[in-house]
Structure 1
Amino acid sequence: MYYDLNVPYSANNRELQRTLAFLAELGYNSVALDHTVSGQVPANITNQIPSPLPFSVPASLQVLRRCTVHLSDPSQNHRLNSISSVYDVVALRPTTEKCLMLACQAFECDLISVDLSIRYPFYFKHTTLAVALQRGIKFEICYGPGILNSDGGASRRNLISNATQLIRATRGRGIIVSSEARRALACRGPADVINMAVLWGLGQERGVEAVSREARSVVMQAEMKRRSYGGVVDVVYGGERNETLVQEENAAKVKQSRSKRKAEVLENQGEEVGDSPRPISKREQKRQAKKARLENAKAQEPQAKNVSVEEPAVEGDSHAQLLPNGYVG
């Protein structure tokens, strides 16, 4: 998946829909619309990017909402933690060396985006940027201002020089590349972005990661900060039953009960009309035949068992006995 995490948002920008459609054609899967905040962060923070957007977006394109805070005075930006609960990605754009140092060491953000199209009076130091890399904060290079330049090529020269210096200071780690394109003409495909990264000295593999894996890690870390405790503990599944599954089970039970009631009604109607009984199974036929045989056998037994046999009595001798040979003894 390819990411472009910086597309400036404006409510009156008519080119935005065309830009998003063109990025989808170039092969990008996720795009972040950027809202810029300059000066002091307001107390009541609301997301200025509507969801859903007032125009149609390609179905293959995931649209994220991002906020970039321009840091010129560190004392005026003490509400940075509350922005992460409103936007999907929070980025800082420091304009001075002190703000860059504080953004790397203390401020909570997901991304540090430095405007590389201008000339800075200081150098990017490895000791300063390494602290941000240890905290999991990435650095962003935006190529859009260097492509459509109207200052005679100065922004393009500054972009190449600053990007080379930033890659040298970070050792090529934690770099993502975005467009910051206000028009579709400034957008470039992922392969062109990788070639530009190679030109700046990033390397082929790191260039691919700059538009895919590194950008995805920014989005995932920002999501973990919003929905988990301290960005460490997250409850993925708490044992809750899926609502669709429960609805399907209830529908199946209702259907089964209806079919059962319908069968009972049809059976009762058949008994009332006088339909022929159901055929008897072979097992039931054998059982009935065996029962009939036993009843016939009992009826044919001799009934003499219940009649007693009387012995003949001899006259004149009440104590006479009948011998086995027939004589009276």
Structure 2
Amino acid sequence: MVPELCSSSQSPALGKTRGRAATINLPLVSKSSPMLKMLYDLCIPWSNDTQSLQRVLSFLSELNYSVVALDHSITGAIPSKIVSPIPSPLPFATPPNLKIVTRCTVSLSDPSHNHRLPSLAQAYDILAVRPTTEKAFLAACLTLTDASLISLDLTQRFSFHFRPKPLMTAVKRGVRIELCYSQALQGGSVDRRNVIMNVQSIVRATSGRGLVVSSEAKSVLGVRAPADVGNLLAVWGLSGERAVEAQTINPRAVVVNETIKRTGFRGVIDVVDGGRKAAESEKASKETANGQVNGKRKNEQAEEAVPAISKRKAKKLKMEALKASQEATSGSATPTKDSAAS
């Protein structure tokens, strides 16, 4: 039985056990927690119903979410001409404190049909794949390099198991595993059961590492506050610390890495000329106008160009010059034998 979501000041009831209501104390999120500082929801499906989409974005902004990704899903073959249906700017007003990025999710059944993924990645800010078969899932975890998110349809009952080795290989490669919770809130009992079973299997295989939690909400009814999401994930077996990382640190890493991929080239991100400081440039221009170099005039610089000698050597040279002058004077004053005989 799935518990109803409660506020951060209450504990959810897990049902009745022998006539008594069983409760569990879940980790609460304080207002000073980093969860409430930079929150990410990287999966909001794009819809032509702009009024409903605008309400979802406004509600996310009220819940202190900072970055939201509008998702466009592609099922089947990737078209040859790739055009993003998400306009820029959006045709409606958005909250000023909410950053909106674009995302594309590609359903992948055969990994050999992914030759257009690089061109698709250039049209969106984030690229995610949704594997539907075991072969596609292993390829997304082990070899696929264009996508940064593996988003699974958790309402499905997969024919394969989530093993730790491929999932942890994907996490070490920088790929994150996305968990969407709105299907467990609005879907039927079968969908809810499959979501809980798949989430618990993924959490067990990854030990809670490398996860990204998104809503995939098509209306405001599928969105929850970060404290409620943390409580829900705690019921499903994810620790409070990992739940905070799944809503803050891990999705931020996805956004930053995707930005670097699109702005960098062969390891070089960007080359920026910072220029010179205004005071230094003014001083250099004045010195040039006055005929100065490095704060000194040219004549002074020329004089200083003569190599200096030590005091000892200067004294020695002075003594030699004095001795030479004395010898010359004494030689001219002493009479010779010829002059004395005469």
TM-score, normalising length: structure 1 = 0.70
**Alignment partner, residue 145 of structure 1:** 183
Whether the 8 Å CA contact 1:148–1:186 is kept in 2: the answer is yes
1:93-120 deviation line (CA, Å, top 9, x unaligned): 0001110001111222110001111211
Work out the CA distance in 2 between the residues paired with 1:131 and 1:75. Answer: 20
1:153-207 deviation line (CA, Å, top 9, x unaligned): 1111111110010011112110010000000111001111111121121201110
**Alignment partner, residue 242 of structure 2:** 206
**Alignment partner, residue 269 of structure 2:** 234
Work out the CA distance in 2 between the residues paired with 1:178 and 1:12. Answer: 21
Whether the 8 Å CA contact 1:6–1:34 is kept in 2: the answer is yes
Work out the CA distance in 2 between the residues paired with 1:134 and 1:204. Answer: 22
Task: Give 3-state SS (helix, strand or coil) of 1:83's partner.
Answer: helix
Residue identity matched to 1:200: W
Whether the 8 Å CA contact 1:116–1:162 is kept in 2: the answer is yes
Work out the CA distance in 1 between the residues paired with 2:120 and 2:191. Answer: 30
Unaligned runs of 5+ in 2: 1-37, 282-342
Unaligned runs of 5+ in 1: 250-329
Work out the CA distance in 2 between the residues paired with 1:140 and 1:192. Answer: 18
Task: Give 3-state SS (helix, strand or coil) of 2:107's partner.
Answer: strand
Give the deviation of 1:73 after TM superposition: 2.2
2:107 aligns with one of 70, 85, 89: 70
Task: Give 3-state SS (helix, strand or coil) of 2:65's partner.
Answer: coil
2:93 aligns with one of 31, 53, 56: 56
Whether the 8 Å CA contact 2:110–2:135 is kept in 1: the answer is no
1:33 aligns with one of 70, 81, 86: 70
Work out the CA distance in 1 between the residues paired with 2:138 and 2:40. Answer: 27
Work out the CA distance in 2 between the residues paired with 1:18 and 1:211. Answer: 21
Work out the CA distance in 1 between the residues paired with 2:273 and 2:206. Answer: 43
Residue identity matched to 1:238: V
Work out the CA distance in 1 between the residues paired with 2:167 and 2:220. Answer: 32
Instruction: After superposing the two structures, state which structure 1 stretch, 72-81 or 24-33, moved more.
Output: 72-81
Percent pairwise identity: 45
Work out the CA distance in 1 between the residues paired with 2:79 and 2:111. Answer: 14
| Pair 1:173 & 2:209 matched | yes
2:164 aligns with one of 126, 144, 147: 126
Find runs of 4+ consecutive structure 1 residues off by over 3 angstroms.
none
Give the deviation of 1:229 after TM superposition: 2.1
Root-mean-square deviation (Å): 1.8
Work out the CA distance in 2 between the residues paired with 1:233 and 1:138. Answer: 24
Work out the CA distance in 1 between the residues paired with 2:114 and 2:85. Answer: 18
Work out the CA distance in 2 between the residues paired with 1:60 and 1:12. Answer: 22
Work out the CA distance in 1 between the residues paired with 2:149 and 2:82. Answer: 19
Whether the 8 Å CA contact 2:73–2:106 is kept in 1: the answer is yes
Task: Give 3-state SS (helix, strand or coil) of 1:131's partner.
Answer: helix
Give the deviation of 1:13 after TM superposition: 5.0
Whether the 8 Å CA contact 1:71–1:94 is kept in 2: the answer is yes
Whether the 8 Å CA contact 1:39–1:76 is kept in 2: the answer is no
2:142 aligns with one of 105, 109, 115: 105
Residue identity matched to 1:114: L
Give the deviation of 1:211 after TM superposition: 0.5
Work out the CA distance in 2 between the residues paired with 1:36 and 1:176. Answer: 18
Work out the CA distance in 1 between the residues paired with 2:275 and 2:230. Answer: 45
| Pair 1:187 & 2:251 matched | no
**Alignment partner, residue 253 of structure 2:** 217
1:248-280 deviation line (CA, Å, top 9, x unaligned): x9xxxxxxxxxxxxxxxxxxxxxxxxxxxxxxx
Whether the 8 Å CA contact 2:42–2:251 is kept in 1: the answer is yes
1:272-316 deviation line (CA, Å, top 9, x unaligned): xxxxxxxxxxxxxxxxxxxxxxxxxxxxxxxxxxxxxxxxxxxxx
Q: How does 1:277-288 map to 2 (within 5 A)?
A: none
Work out the CA distance in 1 between the residues paired with 2:151 and 2:181. Answer: 12
**Alignment partner, residue 93 of structure 1:** 130
Task: Give 3-state SS (helix, strand or coil) of 1:223's partner.
Answer: helix
Whether the 8 Å CA contact 2:108–2:132 is kept in 1: the answer is yes
Whether the 8 Å CA contact 2:43–2:214 is kept in 1: the answer is yes
**Alignment partner, residue 232 of structure 2:** 196
Task: Give 3-state SS (helix, strand or coil) of 1:29's partner.
Answer: strand
Work out the CA distance in 2 between the residues paired with 1:34 and 1:109. Answer: 14
Task: Give 3-state SS (helix, strand or coil) of 1:136's partner.
Answer: coil
Whether the 8 Å CA contact 1:141–1:177 is kept in 2: the answer is yes
Residue identity matched to 2:202: L
Aligned residues: 241
Q: Which has the larger Rg?
A: 1
Give the deviation of 1:240 after TM superposition: 5.1
1:16 aligns with one of 34, 43, 53: 53
